[in-house]
A = this chain, B = another copy of it.
């Protein structure tokens, strides 16, 4: 019951009020694959990097058990570089630069992927690329996809075509409101069901997440974290842990998805305690279980 994660592997430069780090390991695919690996032994990362992608970063990912056979290395190319800056409360992020480099030049290649893996997560990417990935896999049991404001604004038609093939759509509250033109997040989430996904999960950062289907509504709390170091990758960690848990159980029922969302919340809460995937390297499954139990207690009434 393997997982394919299609997304980016990047070199990130991040500024927070406390610190600045340069060219650290990042990217939607990286964060999601690492998070999924806590739950499932078979995670394949599909993406493109340049010749400058440090072997030490690849080694870090392999230490999480992630299969890099479909992470194309472009010998004359440079890795996607992203720069961002956070203000005091981490709710607002300013993008300082986006150098797509090899991501703009070379298509991800699924030839080396076990396309029978039934769980497919399409992390943020141009919608046409996401649709191509769906087409190249063998009728996965579950397709989950993320998206971003830039594609809603510039690739609306392609995004709608992709959504028609997707089971679970996962996106931020501001993106749900942007897509639908509706300021009410619950209404916006429900409206997006009409585009194809049978479930829409809206990430609300420090306010948790909601999940809607035609017949269900789930409200997940955020983990009450007192110290945030770097919010980069929180959403991708959330999504990766979520699909990792579903794949591990091979269960996509409402009950399983609710538990998966809480596991996603927990893994994201660890991720933002340090830059890059640094915190994840020391997280044990018992740490994850402890925060899961704390969230159970936090919502009990």
Contact = CB atoms under 8 A, between A and B. Distances in A.
Contact of A221 (B88, B219, B228, B294): B219
Interface in A207-241: 207-208, 210, 217-222, 224-226, 228
A206 B186 CA distance: 10
Interface string A278-301: 000000000000000010111111
Contacts of A22: none
Contacts of A168: none
B224 A219 contact: yes
Interface in A145-168: none
Main secondary structure of the interface of A (DSSP, over half): mixed
A58 interface: no
A89 B298 contact: no
Interface stretch (A70-78, A93-101, A255-263): A255-263
Given A207-B204, A208-B219, A219-B208, A224 B301 contact: no
A178 interface: no
Contacts of A208: 207, 219
Interface residues of A, number: 35
Interface in A164-217: 183-187, 190, 204, 206-208, 210, 217
B299 A228 contact: no
A187 B226 contact: yes
Contacts of A221: 219, 221, 299
A89 B183 contact: yes
B186 A217 contact: no
B88 A183 contact: yes
Contact of A219 (B89, B187, B218, B298): B298
Interface of A: 88-89, 183-187, 190, 204, 206-208, 210, 217-222, 224-226, 228, 255, 258-259, 261-262, 294, 296-301
